[in-house]
């Protein structure tokens, strides 16, 4: 599955859950995650999507760590529908706790 297909799947699944998966572009801040996922109940996640087998670059890892240090969840190297489903399930569990 291509990165583009995985991204479309994430967008569609978030929408089906009543949420939004915004494309994240931050001029002057290269390496930020691809999407910000907002779900009902105040749940938020930053998501870096990849083609199968690809990994985040050093710059992307730096940006991911900066976001985590601020207390936000970051999912990295999401390269399949199964990983999208896992991250969305994890976000749902956060709301149930």
pLDDT, tens digit, 9 for 90 and up, residues 29-85: 999 999 999 999 999 999 999 999 999 999 999 999 999 999 999 999 999 999 999
Residue 28 included in any domain: yes
What is the structure's pLDDT at 95? 54
What is the structure's pLDDT at 93? 83
Residue 50's CATH number: 3.40.1350.10
Residue 10 included in any domain: yes
What is the structure's pLDDT at 92? 86
What is the structure's pLDDT at 35? 98
Angle at 21 between CA 11 and CA 34, to 5 degrees: 95
How far is the C-alpha of 11 from the C-alpha of 15, rounded, in Å?
6
For residue 8, give its domain range: 3-91
What total of structural domains would you count in the chain? 1
Residue 97 included in any domain: no
Judge whether residue 94 has pLDDT over 80.
no
Q: Burial of 52 by CB count in 10 Å (0-12 exposed, 13-18 middle, 19+ buried)?
A: exposed
Judge whether residue 96 has pLDDT over 70.
no
Residue 96 included in any domain: no
What is the structure's pLDDT at 25? 95
Residues 6+ apart with CB under 8 A from 59: 30, 31
Residue 11 included in any domain: yes
Residue 82 included in any domain: yes
């Amino acid at each position: 599955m291509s990165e583009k297909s995985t991204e479309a799947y994430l967008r569609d699944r978030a929408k089906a859950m009543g949420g939004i998966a915004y494309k994240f572009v931050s001029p002057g801040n290269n390496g930020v995650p691809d999407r910000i996922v907002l779900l009902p109940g105040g749940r938020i996640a930053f998501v870096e999507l990849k083609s199968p087998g690809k990994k985040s670059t050093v710059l992307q890892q730096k940006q991911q760590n900066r976001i985590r240090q601020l207390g936000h969840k970051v999912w990295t190297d999401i390269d399949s529908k199964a990983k999208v489903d896992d991250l969305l399930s994890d976000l749902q569990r956060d709301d149930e706790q």
